[in-house]
Amino acid sequence: MERLPTREGYDRWSACYDEEDNPLIALEEPKVAGLLGPVSGFRILDLGCGTGRHTLRLAAAGAIVTAVDFSEGMLARARDRAGALPIDFRTHDLTQPLPFADASFDRIICGLVLDHIPGLKPLFAEMRRVCRPTGFAVISVMHPAMMLRGVEARFTDRTTGREIRPASTRHQVTDYINAVLAAGWTLEHASEHEVDAALVARSERARKHAGWLLLLLMRLTRP
């Protein structure tokens, strides 16, 4: 097993990210879509867009999407997949202030990113700053219970056969909730989702985690 800085790890992961059986993504994507609701005509900021798994769907549904990531490898794949879709891709490190004006977006999505962010409150505060008063943010993260099992974001490098783990931070559920509230958000929705039989039927890799909590979801509104 090899541990790498987060950016370097995701640059290398980009070569195979979209080809893997990932039970966390299989569980997360439809639930995030449900929390977002209709998106046509809304300005949406996708923070940590990766290869564009949320970005492309949102843009195809009529949203005006700005997609941010700090991995050039992941962004290159996202741009290739986007084709002619009118998406504004930006390279940016989420540990730094966001390069957008106040109240720029109707919706913000941050999917499976926060376990790579050591300081949560500054990012949540920046999300609140760029979110319009009538908007909201949808947050997903691998459930902290997985780290109790030694599970972190990881992949197998196909050229070396070695397991690669981009740097992660062991946050607890209360860390996320406290950071949300300290940044001035209202926590409108929070839910925890386990590996059930339906997920195992869609992703064989999920079987070894059956019955364990895999996903934490939140929807945040401006008070």
Q: Taking 90 as the threshold, does the pLDDT of residue 19 lie above it?
A: no
Q: What is the pLDDT of residues 73-107, one digit of tens each?
A: 999 999 999 999 999 999 999 999 999 999 999 99
How would residue 1 be classed by pLDDT, with cut points 50, 70 and 90?
A: confident
* Assigned token pair, 206: 């999920």
Domain count, the chain: 1
How would residue 195 be classed by pLDDT, with cut points 50, 70 and 90?
A: very high
Q: What is the pLDDT of residues 33-76, one digit of tens each?
A: 999 999 999 999 999 999 999 999 999 999 999 999 999 999 99
Q: What is the structure's pLDDT at 160?
A: 86
Which whole-number Å values give the CA distances from 92 to 68, 71, 205, 206, in the listed order? 6, 8, 32, 32
Q: Residue 63 sits in which domain range?
A: 2-221
CATH number at residue 178: 3.40.50.150
